[in-house]
Amino acid sequence: LDPALAAGKAVYDMSCGACHDAGMMGAPKPGDKAAWADRVAQGLDVMTQKSIDGFTGAAGMMPAKGGNMDLTDEEVGGAVAWMASTVE
């Protein structure tokens, strides 16, 4: 795994997996191509900004930075990049 993606996965495991691993409350699971297709189509920058700010979509509520406000924007971006890499 590319080192940047590995760092993103570490952030994911710590702060995102609690919801996204199990698809809790509509959270798209890593590797679920159907759940990610329209999301990835927005582009990484849009997905990252929405993950930093938080948003409510058709599936449910994504909290700002997954509720971990200690994460930097770059760390959130790395986690999003790893998630997107699972459906490439």
Q: Which of 5, 16, 30, 81 binds ligand HEB (CB under 6 A)?
A: 16
Element housing 61 (H / E)? strand 61-62
The string of DSSP codes covering 40-84 is HTT-HHHHHHHHHH-EE-SS-EE-GGGG-TTS-HHHHHHHHHHHH
Cα–Cα distance for residue pair 1/24, rounded to 1 Å = 26
Residues 45-64 touching ligand HEB, rule: CB under 6 A, are 47, 50-51, 57-63
Give strand pairing partners of 56: 61
Minimum gap (Å) between residue 78 Cβ and ligand HEB: 8
Q: Which of 5, 9, 30, 80 binds ligand HEB (CB under 6 A)?
A: 80
- Residue 5 or 15: which CB sits closer to ligand HEB? 15
The binding site for ligand HEB (CB under 6 A) comprises 15-16, 18-20, 25-28, 39, 42, 47, 50-51, 57-63, 65-68, 71, 76, 79-80, 83
